[in-house]
Amino acid sequence: MKIRIPPVIQIYILGTISLLLAVLSLGIALDQAYLGLRLTPEARSTAPARIDGMRIDAVFPGSPVAGLPGTGIPTLLSSLAALADSDGKVLSITPEDLIEEPDAMDSYATMDAFFARQDEISKMLRNDAVTLEVQFLDESRFFTIQPARQRPIRSLPFAFWLQITVGLGGVWIGVWIWALRRGDWATRCLAFSGAGLMVSAFPAAIYSTRELALPADLFRALSSLNHLGAFAFGVGMIGLFMVYPRRLFQPRWLVFPALVLGTWFVLAHLGMMESPVIGIHMGVILALLAIVILVGLQFRATRGDPRDRAALSWLGLAVLVGSGAFVITVIAPHLLGIDAFLSQGVAFVFFLLVYVGVALGVARFQLFQLENWAFRILFYVVGVVLLLSIDALLILTIVDERVPAFALSLLIVALVWLPLRDTLARLILRRREPARADRFRKIMDVALTPPERDQQNRWQVLLADMFNPLSLVHGVDAGAPHLREDGLILALPRVHTLPPLELRFADGGRRLFSARDLELATEMTAMLAQALESRAAYEKGVSEERTRIARDIHDNIGVQLMAALHSPERTRKDIMIRETLTDLRDIINNASNPDMSFDEMLADLRAQIAEQLFIAGVTMKWWAENAQALALPLQSAHMLRSIIREAVQNALKHASPGRMDISVRFTRGRILVSVSDDGNGFEPARVQHGNGLANLRDRIDAVRGVVRIESSPKGTRITAEIPLSKSMKEDT
């Protein structure tokens, strides 16, 4: 029975293997003797001084060299001229010792001598102690140090991480596409080329960013792997264009480029070519020429097929630009006997452009018959890989414990990768707003345009954009959209103040209106009608609220301010001004929140009354029962405040009380209020019309409430019942 592994699991497995290889490369790069110098063969100073060896560009803090007591090595003007071991053996240092790529040498003998010299320097650095001869302005200084056994991770340059990233990016994108189309020879070739890029980039990252030297056997092995990966990349790309987008050759012919380039690789490493430059670099250029020829053949084969031609143009451009840029800046100069235009470590980024171009081609042209759903898998896998990678990095660097490191990495992924993923999805997949949402936005623009500002013209422009009729004229209102004359005319009804219209000859006269057009028109008119009704209701509400605010200001604020202005008593004047400010605040709050919370309103009212009584020197007892957090209707809230405030004001003005008791109780859909004092009392029958209590009685009668006033020389008691709405009674 054949076991089929899901694509996501395959991506995880192969992605994990590539990460392990990256970690192995990192371990090899760090497992080298370390001085703490950043050396460069290029001179960076115009000082008239003799420079032997290699320029010291920087001294890393905390390194063996930086720990020399009282010396310090001046950078930029200093150079490392020689090394000496404890036995007195001296090795002069030359700029050739830091050659980035040994296969650029003019003969195999020269390359062998280079590896032997690298081995000699590496062994000297691994001894117990080494003496550095440093030249500074024609003066030699000697420093004896103990090289570190391992190189710290912070000393690895940007080029190292760049090459590791390129290798991972190439293999991940290749594996991602192959896992979703495993039976396709084109995706197999793409994945093979990505693996070749990884095999080439990882070793190059190690030896091209070394501090000074590597053991010969290790250097040779890394160099051979780099060449093998480069040839494998070429085999994969040649095979890709042999079968994609059109099958120019049968799959069995894919073995041919593998045999040719494989043979070339073996001959080059057996020293049977004229030189390493011819053996390695000429093989790479021949592979690129084969790719160019195959792209040309594919271009010819895709004539008359715009889809395949577009896919070929995008994919071919990505491969030729990425690979060609590397050949022009690094390979070709070596063949011509001149220095490379760009560092090989930095030039590797051109290969990453190839695979980024492939990923973008999947989004734009559905390369390899993949749709946008493929990116959801990719983004998910990348998120998990980032989580594990950041977790491992934190444990290796700054966080010692496993759980805090995982929690921190999870936080970083959540805060950085998830928003970045959405941004990438929008940029790569070019997500567009759904047509329905776009129509709704345009219809809302029509509905929100005031009639006097050409609302009708906007509606007609929208219809013209949607249906492109040959003519659009005023019609007769028929109550609903309908087709006439077998689809020649689409008739639309009146929508509020917008007149009925007739759309004639759809799509510029090239077709009849269809049932789908009628369905769309019905949906649009219904949406517009609903939007216009909502706007009319909103404007009506705004008008009613303006009227309410104006009435409240006229009936309450104006009267209270006038009374305060003419009041001879300072205390009374202050109280009335405070009440006026409170009413003004209530008016503003009610405009934005017509239904008030019962318990919050009582707390606010209690604070107001307590302040008034405190100023007057009166003790207050406040008691509330069943003060729930329910929404109190505006009229009931206003009535409750008026009863309590009016009762308190009358007592302070006429009864000179020393104590007041106030209780509020909510029960059976009613609010029961009681306000009593121990003041002088009065005769209720003598209450005149216009008095505050009389006005209050009239207002309670208007809402079918009940108010009772009881007074004697020992005090006054006012009780009232305020009924609530029917819906609130049912809720309670």
366 pLDDT higher than 70: no
Query: Percent of the chain, pLDDT > 70?
Result: 75
146 pLDDT higher than 70: yes
Query: Which of the four pLDDT bands, split at 50, 70 and 90, describes residue 369?
Result: low
- Residues 229 and 199: beta-carbon distance below 8 Å: yes
Dihedral over Cα of 284, 287, 293, 294: its sign: negative
Phi-psi region of 369 (alpha: psi -120 to 50; beta: other; left: phi over 0): left
Query: Which of the four pLDDT bands, split at 50, 70 and 90, describes residue 486?
Result: low
Give me the pLDDT at residue 23, please. 92
d(CA 187, CA 177): 6
Task: Give 199 or 475, the one with higher predicted confidence.
Answer: 199
Amino acid making up residue 481: P
pLDDT in tens, 265-275: 999 988 888 88
Edge-to-edge strand list for the sheet holding 482-484: 471-474, 501-504, 489-492, 482-484
Task: Give 283 or 577, the one with higher predicted confidence.
Answer: 283
Give me the pLDDT at residue 198, please. 95
Q: Cα–Cα–Cα angle for 341, 342, 347, nearest 5°?
A: 135
Distances in Å between the Cα of 630 and the Cα atoms of 600, 626, 729, 731 are 10, 10, 12, 10
| Residues shown for the chain | 732
DSSP letter string over 511-539? B---HHHHHHHHHHHHHHHHHHHHHHHHH
Closest CA to 223 of 279, 168, 184, 173: 279
Give me the pLDDT at residue 214, please. 95
Average pLDDT over residues 129-152: 87
690 pLDDT higher than 50: no
Residue located via tokens 């090459």: 163
Give me the pLDDT at residue 338, please. 81
d(CA 338, CA 330): 10
Average pLDDT over residues 39-63: 71
pLDDT in tens, 323-335: 888 888 888 887 7
Query: Which of the four pLDDT bands, split at 50, 70 and 90, describes residue 563?
Result: low
Give me the pLDDT at residue 26, please. 94
- Residues 25 and 208: beta-carbon distance below 8 Å: no
Give 342's DSSP letter.
S
Closest CA to 29 of 183, 186, 163: 163
Average pLDDT over residues 540-552: 71
- Residues 140 and 82: beta-carbon distance below 8 Å: no
Average pLDDT over residues 55-69: 82
Closest CA to 230 of 254, 256, 191, 198: 198
Judge if the upstream peptide bond of residue 203 is cis by omega within 30 degrees of 0: no
Query: Which of the four pLDDT bands, split at 50, 70 and 90, describes residue 508?
Result: low
Query: Which of the four pLDDT bands, split at 50, 70 and 90, describes residue 560?
Result: low
Give me the pLDDT at residue 76, please. 65
Amino acid making up residue 665: R
d(CA 582, CA 602): 14
d(CA 511, CA 609): 77
83 pLDDT higher than 90: yes
Residue located via tokens 């989004």: 363
pLDDT in tens, 383-429: 666 666 676 666 666 665 656 666 677 677 666 766 776 666 666 55
| Percentages of the chain per state (helix, strand, coil), in multiples of 5 | 60, 15, 25
Average pLDDT over residues 49-61: 77
Average pLDDT over residues 552-561: 62
Q: Cα–Cα–Cα angle for 100, 105, 109, nearest 5°?
A: 125
d(CA 401, CA 398): 10
Task: Give 455 or 432, the one with higher predicted confidence.
Answer: 455
Amino acid making up residue 108: Y
pLDDT in tens, 153-211: 989 999 999 999 999 999 988 988 888 888 889 999 999 999 999 999 999 999 999 99
DSSP letter string over 2-64? -----HHHHHHHHHHHHHHHHHHHHHHHHSS-B--EEEESS-----S----SEEEEEE-TTST
469 pLDDT higher than 70: yes
Give me the pLDDT at residue 46, please. 45
Average pLDDT over residues 4-11: 78
- Residues 677 and 655: beta-carbon distance below 8 Å: yes
566 pLDDT higher than 80: no
Least confident of 310-319, 483-492, 623-632: 623-632
Residue located via tokens 């008739």: 491
Task: Give 644 or 30, the one with higher predicted confidence.
Answer: 30
Query: Which of the four pLDDT bands, split at 50, 70 and 90, describes residue 42?
Result: low
Q: Which two tokens stand for residue 260?
A: 């040719």
Give 106's DSSP letter.
S
Average pLDDT over residues 600-627: 83
d(CA 234, CA 230): 6
Give me the pLDDT at residue 1, please. 47
d(CA 681, CA 709): 11
Task: Give 642 or 320, the one with higher predicted confidence.
Answer: 320
Give me the pLDDT at residue 731, please. 47
Give me the pLDDT at residue 151, please. 93
635 pLDDT higher than 80: no
Give me the pLDDT at residue 689, please. 47
d(CA 199, CA 265): 15
d(CA 453, CA 462): 16
Query: Which of the four pLDDT bands, split at 50, 70 and 90, describes residue 543?
Result: confident
Letter string b/e over residues 432-471, b meaning 16 or more CB atoms within 10 A of that residue's CB = eeeeeeebbebbeebbebeeeeebeebbbebbeebbebee
Mean of pLDDT over the chain: 80
Query: Which of the four pLDDT bands, split at 50, 70 and 90, describes residue 16?
Result: confident
Closest CA to 495 of 463, 527, 540: 527
d(CA 620, CA 475): 73
Average pLDDT over residues 458-468: 84
Q: Cα–Cα–Cα angle for 437, 440, 445, nearest 5°?
A: 130
Residues 6+ apart with CB under 8 A from 7: 179, 180, 182, 377
